[in-house]
Amino acid sequence: MSNPVFFTPEGTLNGLRPGDSFVLDGSEAKHAVTVKRLEVGESVDIVDGAGTRLVGSVTAAGQGSLTVLAVDVREEPQPAVRLVLVQALAKGDRDELAVETATELGIDAVVPWQSERSIVRWKGERAAKSHAKWQSVAAAAAKQARRAWIPEVRAAVDGSGLASAVAAADLAIILHEDAKRPLRDVLEDWNGRTSHGGAGAAREVLLIVGPEGGISPREVTKLSDAGAVTALLGHHVLRSSTAGPAAVVLASDILGRW
């Protein structure tokens, strides 16, 4: 079984080497000691959410702190193709469920999208609180999945903002029930044409998911004009909480991320 994971702020693991000691404190240490009840000698991973992972052994577990002896410290690079979920705001907790599941499956970033047909609206104080909630959901899911990276939750966008993001992406895919081409074909064709960019040629793919009422024809036209393509995920209509994670699975396989 993999080691339990605890987060520390980005940069706090910098410069550590095998044989060094690291002291985890704050809420994560409290969780490790009082909830997980970790004891001396147990193995743990400490990650900074930005790709650094310390694999170590507990040498002291006190009230409010956990001391870990580093056995290995390593940098886990991001994949050559980054997947970004553009998730339309949805009622209930369906958008948060999409973020949670997509994070467990390996999404690299999330973009909240205020689409025309979104019932939920992020305005004023609610916008800041909702964005913070998505960040919290992504962090918790990354911890559950033992990830060294916490997906970035980018600023919310409206239709114009999303069109700009589409224009800047290497590939932007609208998951749409009326699309003619299967998502598999779109991804395989694009990957075959662009996979010879050489080292350092990082690429980014947007997976765009609409709200409960679907993406409006006007939005499809606007995003297509900006460079997006439509793709059919399957023969059945999926919920807004399901479509994104399902696309992440397929894309991760086709693009060699898994």
Residue 120's pLDDT is 84
Question: Is residue 197 pLDDT above 60, yes or no?
Answer: no
- 147 in the same domain as 125: yes
Percentage of the chain exceeding pLDDT 70: 97
If you ran DSSP here, which 8-state letter would residue 149 be given?
B
Residue 121's pLDDT is 85
- 88 in the same domain as 27: no
- 87 in the same domain as 71: no
- 89 in the same domain as 157: yes
- Name the nearest CA neighbour of 29 among 21, 37, 19: 37
- 104 in the same domain as 138: yes
Residue 201's pLDDT is 66
Give me the residue label for tokens 């793709």. 231
Asked which of 75, 99, 114 is the last residue of a domain, the reply is: 75
- Please give the average per-residue pLDDT across 211-228, as a whole number: 93
- 12 in the same domain as 85: no
- 94 in the same domain as 111: yes
Cα–Cα distance measured from residue 25 to residue 107, given in angstroms and rounded to the nearest whole number = 28
Strands 52-62 and 65-75 turn out to be antiparallel
AA identity, residue 133: K
The mean predicted confidence, pLDDT, of the chain is 92
Asked which of 75, 94, 109 is the last residue of a domain, the reply is: 75
- 215 in the same domain as 109: yes
State the CATH number of the domain containing residue 54.
2.40.240.20
State the CATH number of the domain containing residue 89.
3.40.1280.10
Cα–Cα distance measured from residue 6 to residue 4, given in angstroms and rounded to the nearest whole number = 7
- At residue 159, φ and ψ (nearest 5 deg) are -60, -45
Residue 2's pLDDT is 84
- 37 in the same domain as 112: no
Residue 239's pLDDT is 87
Contacts of 191 (CB under 8 A, 6+ apart): 81, 254, 255, 256
Residue 254's pLDDT is 95
- 137 in the same domain as 63: no
Residue range of the domain that includes 221: 81-255
- Please give the average per-residue pLDDT across 81-92, as a whole number: 93
Question: Is residue 25 pLDDT above 60, yes or no?
Answer: yes
Asked which of 75, 102, 123 is the last residue of a domain, the reply is: 75
Number of domains comprising the chain:
2
If you ran DSSP here, which 8-state letter would residue 4 be given?
P
Question: Is residue 103 pLDDT above 60, yes or no?
Answer: yes
- 124 in the same domain as 86: yes
- Name the nearest CA neighbour of 4 among 14, 12, 26, 35: 35
- 70 in the same domain as 85: no
